[in-house]
Structure 1
Amino acid sequence: MKTRFLICSFFLISIFNMKAQENFSVSANVKTEPTDKIKFNETNIGISFNKNIGAKNKITNTLEYSNLKVNYELGSNTAYEQLDQFNQIKNRFGFSHEISNTTKLNFSITPMVNFQSNLNTDDFSLLGSFEVQQQLSSKTFISIGVARTTIFGTPKFMPTLGFNYQINDQSSLLIGFPDSKISYSNNIRNKFSLNNNFNGNFYRLDQQNTLNNNASKVSLSQMTTALEYERNVDKNWLFNFKAGYDFNKKYNLQDNDNHNVYDFNTGNGYVLGVGIKYKQ
């Protein structure tokens, strides 16, 4: 109980500095990802704010909670049916500094806990990123950096790269890793985008000895291509709809050394999502 209190207090520190201001938002999203053998349902809620500090510095903070529910095909994987729910709490703090009119440094740190049901200190992990953003012209800029991320199912250091081009007043293009996107807006209320993302996560298990295979966590990863539509209902409320497909989806049990000890062979599947956001 003491451990859970200390970890939760660590994440809640950021909330005390959140004040009702122009750049404050609250969001909620639900997503379903059915595959041939397993159905994944995820719910996510988040609170974020950003604030300018002087003319050249900006801070952002996002606190999120997500719950992943896993439904197995009836009669299959009966030994693992207790692996039906996972939780994550993470807080991303970002800092941006303008070196010049064309060069910017972006830094972030993301403490998080990924757990099955019982929260303890072993569930704590630390992610982060650092990148340099360089403007090449009025319509083009690139970003190069490195990040400790879980996009392949375990925390790893990875290079990041992005090429951004403003095609016209309605359209923009991002080509990079792990994210690529092309966006189009026909008016101030509607925005369409085609996204391609590498994404993943992991969750530590409560009792590894009950699985009889030295598994200590589950690992998920996939590449998602999706079409998204965002509707700005008024100046405060936005709705988001998402439909796409997961490629190369992996759902594995791993030991403490990140070795796979069991592969669920889920196969690929489509993804559907809907979200709501309030901002002021």
Structure 2
Amino acid sequence: MAYLSSLPLLSPSQLGEELFLYLAVSLAAVNAALVREEDRVQRPMYYTSRALKGAKERYPPIEKLTFDLVTAAHKLNSYFQAHSMIVLTEKPLRRAISNPNAAGQMTLWAVELSEFDIQYRPCTAIKGQVVADFIAEFTNVESQGAREYPQWNIHTDGSSNKQAGEAGIVLRSLEGDKIECMVRLDFPMTNNEAEYEALVMGLDLAKAARATSVIIHCDSQVITNQINGDYECKGERMKKYLEQENRRVDDLQAKIVQIPRGKNDKPTVLPRPHQQNTWSSSIRYSPFIHLSPLIDVVNVKEMSFESNWTTP
């Protein structure tokens, strides 16, 4: 009741003043709050919100944030035209928009936003109660409106040395069945490239099993944050791996989370033929050799064994 007795009133802008924009994104929506500062108090001017549907739901986080800014620029065009706009965010939004190597939709958005006077500053503190209320309300709506999907689980792990490497994938189905895959990477690569190899192969395995919603568990901080848009992807090879990952999640409900290395589920040691009778029937183990990186022409061999112990 105390809040209802002192509802924030929308405040009109003053000629030539700087305005502040807060952005908030979720799985299913993008929101923005436009505020002005008066006597060190931030006063609300406008709120915007747009639901995400179809392909937009699968935008990487940094693209969602850019789309949020573009949406606000469309709806608040007169404010963007007449004022300097300060976007407050902890994400590397300016770097993503000004990246000369950006492609596709990001390039179009960058051109569209270039006509405005936009500055980017870290969101060090929330000065106004109105913005705190906006974020609290948005969080409540998000938690109520988020859709839940049955999810497969993918655990990936990659490692390498100067000559070769290996990628391990563990896929768990909705019913709890477990598929393990160990791939020998018969070419030179870095550890991060080996991690991407494992992750991309895990997505391929999930799609082959007709999974539609997955959680990817990865113990690499670099790879997890690059995919989530928190780290900039540097180097042409790493960018190609990220593109491969993005293509594979286009028609999946996918989420990647970082987990401690000690808690990552890795394939068990390759069983010997004489152990087949004691091996769980819920596990399928597929060994392969990759002769070239997934970002190049794929060349894969399936390892052969004298015994057909991998046959269900």
Q: TM-score, normalised by structure 2?
A: 0.18
Q: Going by fraction, where is strand more abundant, 1 or 2? A: 1
Relative to the length of structure 1, the TM-score reads: 0.20
Whose helix fraction is larger, Structure 1's or Structure 2's?
A: 2
Structure with higher Rg: it is: 2
